[in-house]
Structure 1
Amino acid sequence: MKINKLNSIILLGFIAIIGILVAQLLWTKEAFNIEEKKFSQKAHIALIEVAKKLYQSTNRELPFENPVRKISNDYYIVNIDNDFDPAILEFYLKTEFKKINLTTDFEYAVYNCQSEEMIYGNYVSLDANTKKQSTVYFPKHKNLVYYFAIRFPNETNYLFSSLRFWFVLSLALIVILLIYVYSIYTLIQQKKYSELQRDFINNMTHEFKTPLSSILIASNYLIKQEPIIQNERLEKYTQSIIVQGNKLNQHIEKILNVAKWDHSPLELSKEKIAVLPILNDVIENIELKNQGIAIVIESDSKAVYIHADLFHFTNLVYNLIDNSIKYCAEKPSIIIRISTENNFIKLEFIDNGIGISNNEISYIYDKFYRISSNEVNGFGLGLYYVKKVCNLNHWKIKATNNPTQGITQTILIPSKS
């Protein structure tokens, strides 16, 4: 169900970006067509004004018929029906094009009645440093005697430059689409590797549990046999097999649980629970396993209640205390301090352990993370589980080094919960 939902979201996102990109390209094309029409209109207006001024010099009126004809996208002819000076024509062209803000290079040619051919006039560049000798052919037109032709060789570049914003936006959308596709590809690959890793862990741990169960069954049967009971050394070895087997079994269960949590989130069954009795029960169980430890509870209230899952909160407390015991080089001494602060119930687990460097302390709740100088056996899953339970309950947890020795792990629980 979740996979189908993820695939649907990916597909919808992909379609949305493609749709936006297509719309952007269509808008850009339409904007180009509009700019092309505007350019053509400006050219017509400017050329008509040039024709008027050429007529004014002869004291004749401009014919009613439009003298300007557009032959192609960048080529125009203007019928004057009267002789004119090419130098004056160029002056008028420059003046009118500048007046109407038509800022692009142009070239012109004039029809010569004597030779009956188009005589190339000049290439007019906006950049004084640019000189271009053109060999462009200006075709001759029938039924026209006194006329000139105008060509805009850089019209396409001029139109593209006026649409820079549109093209930059389209390019940005294309880049976003490529990043999205690459991100989705990476996500799918990571998901695939994650599933392979989880399947491998599940298969590996299950394969371990089968022979381990046989070893524990055989060891428990063996330790009850009379020859083993009578031989202190053999009994000690057998007991060591059982203890280490149970410890290995606990590690395997942790790995299986983490794989299960990654596949489906933890489900919390919240209820109102008293904190102090749970702490006392956990401490009693831990003291049975670890002789000689000192665990003290300090509370500013005799009755502290929170709304939480009993099972997971008990495991959370157990993992924090067990972690403090494991990472202690001397006799473990742990203080569990309970107080109320700014609408929060604060639980502090203060130990006298080996401590953690400031560079590594922020990573201790990461999955599989173990301190570089750590020589204690484990998989780095205990504190990861603690962090996960806190996140699901919307609690805050952090670890800080004590001024002298050990660390303090603090959990802030909203009092309203």
Structure 2
Amino acid sequence: MKLSTLNIIVFVGLIAIVGVLTMQLLMLNQAYAFEKKEIGEKIHFALQDVVNKIYRDNNSDLPAASPIKKVSEDYYVVNVDDTFEAPILEYYLNLEFQKVKMDMDYEYAIYDCASDEMVYGEYISSSGTAEKNEKKCENCFTKKEGLVYYFAVRFPDLKYSYISSLQQYWIYTGVLFLVLVIYVYSVFLLLKQKKYSELQKDFINNMTHEFKTPLSSILIASNYAAKQPEIERNVKLNKYLEIIIEQSNKLNLHIEKILNVAKSDEMHRGIHKKEFNIVDSLELVKENALLKYGHANVNLTSLKDSYSLYADEFHFYNIAFNILENAMKYGPNGSTEVNINLVETDKKLEIRFSDNGPGIPKDHIDYVFDRFYRVPRENREEVEGFGIGLFYVKKICDLHKWKISIANNPEKGITVTIAIPKKQIQ
């Protein structure tokens, strides 16, 4: 994925999540305002009914102006402007608050003309009974100048009631915040990992290119020196030069493999598909592998002489050679046997590479296609490699939309299977 495309996806995702979170916060704010308004109206209607009952008991006419004054969010003053008794007031308050379903604690105080002070009444719990409570605040009630017959009501848990009544909204908002944090953290890790991947790729490219220049010079000089008469006549020097050339060629091959893997993220650009015969290509792989590993025995079995495949012939040859070479390298010395079978099913053509080697331990078989992963083997320290061959094989299969699998045989060895969809076979 290109960096620009990644940036667009990250930006759009962030905008979407922030947009949803903003809408949720707006809804939470509206719900909070609606809840405040609803509770405020309940309190006002309940206190108005209390005043009406007091005036009715005293056979007095109701005043034209509203007797209820809202001092703060949780503090109300009610100007009765007529005589009333504390027990009657408490009874009416409980009755009217229950009618409007005000299930919260409250406390009240009454103005006393004789002492010119607010006299604390009771702390009434949500159940409607007076009780002793640590939340009592007798000093919270203040005098209201200009009034004589009045009382005040305070709701100590009113703000907490708003929060608890909007519990669902708070949960949804919290979940969205969590999603946003996880998203930002994931993007941060993704960009960090991409940066490390770019650094790793640049390092591999620079390292391999720096190796290739002196290695090419060594090969040119070694090949030139090997042709000199003095070297040809000296058996020891000739042998040493052969070792230098052989090992230099082997190192050059490893460098080429590393370069291919380093470019694997953009390998789809290097795929050049054309029609070719799978059987012919596998025959060529077999011949070249036997030239390198003369001790092996390779058998190719196919029901047909020709299977025309539309794919990249160069990469197909490389992955088949990689699989066959691995079987020969790790197989029993002098008796390695590899069978290549082409098997048709209803929906696919399977190419199966089976060998008689030692197999792969169960703990490691799931990781053989990982980059740079090497299976630890006994008595195989001399077998060289970087653990990139099968990673390259898996990458090419994925680019062609082929399925590759590996499994231990019931008796001995392993079987690597490449499954090609029938629709790709011409």
Shorter-chain TM band = over 0.9
Aligned match for 1:356, one of 360, 364, 368: 360
Query: CA 1:136 to 1:306, structure 2 compared with 1: closer, same or farther past 3 Å?
Result: farther
Q: Which amino acid aligns with 2:208?
A: T
Q: What is residue 393 of structure 1 aligned with on the other side?
A: 400
Does 1:285 pair with 2:288? yes
Shift in Å at residue 282 of structure 1? 1.2
- Cα distance in 1, alignment partners of residues 64 and 376 from structure 2: 93
Q: CA RMSD in A?
A: 2.0
Q: Is the 8 A contact 2:123 2:132 kept in 1?
A: no
What SS does the corresponding residue of 1:416 show, helix, strand or coil?
Answer: helix
- Cα distance in 2, alignment partners of residues 88 and 233 from structure 1: 123
1:241-282 Cα distance to aligned partner (Å, 9 max, x none):
111110100101111111122355453222332211111111
Aligned match for 1:191, one of 179, 182, 194: 194
Equivalent runs, 1:7-406 vs 2, <5 Å: 7-126=7-126, 130-262=133-265, 265-330=268-333, 331-373=335-377, 375=381, 376-406=383-413
1:356-395 Cα distance to aligned partner (Å, 9 max, x none):
0011111111111100225321011111111011111111
Q: Is the 8 A contact 2:264 2:395 kept in 1?
A: no
- Cα distance in 1, alignment partners of residues 132 and 90 from structure 2: 19
Q: Is the 8 A contact 1:125 1:131 kept in 2?
A: no
What SS does the corresponding residue of 1:148 show, helix, strand or coil?
Answer: strand
Q: Is the 8 A contact 1:123 1:134 kept in 2?
A: no
Shift in Å at residue 168 of structure 1? 2.3
Q: Which amino acid aligns with 1:334?
A: V
Shift in Å at residue 299 of structure 1? 1.7
Query: CA 1:390 to 1:92, structure 2 compared with 1: closer, same or farther past 3 Å?
Result: same
Q: Is the 8 A contact 2:354 2:414 kept in 1?
A: yes
Query: CA 1:129 to 1:227, structure 2 compared with 1: closer, same or farther past 3 Å?
Result: farther
Shift in Å at residue 85 of structure 1? 1.5
- Cα distance in 2, alignment partners of residues 218 and 209 from structure 1: 14
Shift in Å at residue 113 of structure 1? 2.9
Q: Compute the TM-score of the two structures, normalised by the length of structure 2.
A: 0.92
Shift in Å at residue 188 of structure 1? 2.0
Query: CA 1:400 to 1:287, structure 2 compared with 1: closer, same or farther past 3 Å?
Result: same
1:65-115 Cα distance to aligned partner (Å, 9 max, x none):
433222221111223232111112112212222221212211111122333
Q: Is the 8 A contact 1:306 1:415 kept in 2?
A: no
- Cα distance in 2, alignment partners of residues 275 and 137 from structure 1: 93
- Cα distance in 1, alignment partners of residues 4 and 302 from structure 2: 49
Shift in Å at residue 131 of structure 1? 4.4
Q: What is residue 407 of structure 1 aligned with on the other side?
A: 414
Percent of aligned pairs with the same amino acid: 47
**Structure 1: tracts of 5 or more residues without a match:** none
- Cα distance in 2, alignment partners of residues 155 and 256 from structure 1: 70
Q: Which amino acid aligns with 1:237?
A: Y
Q: Compute the TM-score of the two structures, normalised by the length of structure 1.
A: 0.94
Query: CA 1:255 to 1:129, structure 2 compared with 1: closer, same or farther past 3 Å?
Result: farther
Shift in Å at residue 42 of structure 1? 0.8
Does 1:6 pair with 2:10? no
Q: Which amino acid aligns with 1:380?
A: G
Q: Is the 8 A contact 2:135 2:156 kept in 1?
A: no
Q: Is the 8 A contact 2:222 2:244 kept in 1?
A: yes
Shift in Å at residue 21 of structure 1? 2.6
Structure 1, 56-65 or 272-281: larger mean CA deviation: 56-65
- Cα distance in 2, alignment partners of residues 189 and 304 from structure 1: 45
Equivalences, count:
417
Q: Is the 8 A contact 1:109 1:122 kept in 2?
A: yes
1:207-263 Cα distance to aligned partner (Å, 9 max, x none):
211111111111111111112222333322211211111010010111111112235
**Structure 2: tracts of 5 or more residues without a match:** none
- Cα distance in 2, alignment partners of residues 209 and 147 from structure 1: 98
What SS does the corresponding residue of 2:222 show, helix, strand or coil?
Answer: helix
Query: CA 1:416 to 1:264, structure 2 compared with 1: closer, same or farther past 3 Å?
Result: closer
Q: Which amino acid aligns with 2:253?
A: Q
Query: CA 1:225 to 1:129, structure 2 compared with 1: closer, same or farther past 3 Å?
Result: farther
- Cα distance in 1, alignment partners of residues 81 and 2 from structure 2: 79
Query: CA 1:62 to 1:134, structure 2 compared with 1: closer, same or farther past 3 Å?
Result: same
